[in-house]
Amino acid sequence: MKMKKYLACLTAALMMGAAFTACGGSGTSTAENSSSEIVQEAPETSPVAANGDASAASAEEDTDSASETTADATAQEVTQSQDVDFEPAVTAQPGQAYLAIVDGQWWIQYWGSAEKDGYMLAYNAGVADIQGDGSYTVSVTADTNGFRYDTTGDPTDQYTPEGLGFLSVMIPEGESMYPGAVITIDSIKVDGNEIEMSAKNYTSSDDGIETRTNIYNTWVTTPSDDARCIDGPLYDEDGDALDICKDYSAQLIDPAAFSQWTTVEVNFTITGTDGSLAPADAGSSDEAGTDAEA
């Protein structure tokens, strides 16, 4: 036993001596160099373990990537298996009337375009192709696969709009195509139920291009200067309000009727599309009629 311990000690001493002789220099430098060599050589002494860890990490990454790919593929397969058809997203063209609407959170919107903010209600939106004086209907609905997909990410799920922030009937380029034309609201229906109007609507333009009639607009407290109705303008030539002005408003309804809603429909009558109601400086009737036909 003593002999074995002696031989072990002797062997260790010889190994240490060889190490110092091979590295050379002072003891401190040798220790630093030895540590460096150990660190550098460590991966070479256990290539199986190192490659095993790398392989495991790579396998995990591959698994995650495969899972994501599989999830995407599954989602596509589910959508395809459901055979979901998305309704046409409608953009109102110049001369067509549409129903501009915004919910109480100013998230769900429609401004007559399938591309502007809030296009979710563009699916199956009911626009009216104005073909002259007469009665027309405009509408929006949240009961579409497109709306459900854009609001929830699932065409089979349901999101119900709540509240009302804005409501108006609008006609792109209506001021040039039908100068002086007047829109009269006949009825407003929420999910098939007609709601009461507390005032009369008037026709005007916010930008001199698009014709509109506000149904619910809290930013307008009195009819605008260019307001007009079937009986004529609401202001005289000096800009003073006429007696009839008090009967007209930009807020015709109680927004409480829109606490929750899916489909909104507005029926209206338009007159003066031939230019007969246009003011004298809006051009002749013949010119207005030509624009309307175009």
Across 44-58, 60-74, 192-206, 268-282, which has the greatest mean pLDDT?
192-206
Check pLDDT > 50 for residue 131: yes
Which CA distances in Å does 104 have to 108, 109, 223, 253, 265? 8, 10, 23, 14, 18
pLDDT at position 84: 82
Check pLDDT > 50 for residue 114: yes
pLDDT at position 119: 85
Q: Write the pLDDT tens digit of every residue in 246-294.
A: 999 999 999 999 999 999 999 999 999 999 998 766 544 344 444 434 3
Mean pLDDT of 115-127: 89
Phi, psi of 159 (to 5 degrees): -125, 130
Check pLDDT > 70 for residue 8: no
pLDDT at position 278: 87
User: β-strands 134-141, 182-190: how paired?
Assistant: unpaired
Check pLDDT > 60 for residue 26: no
How do the domains of the chain map onto residue ranges? 2-82, 96-293
Residue 250 in 3-state DSSP?
coil
Mean pLDDT of 38-52: 37
Residues contacting 55, CB < 8 A, separation 6+:
none
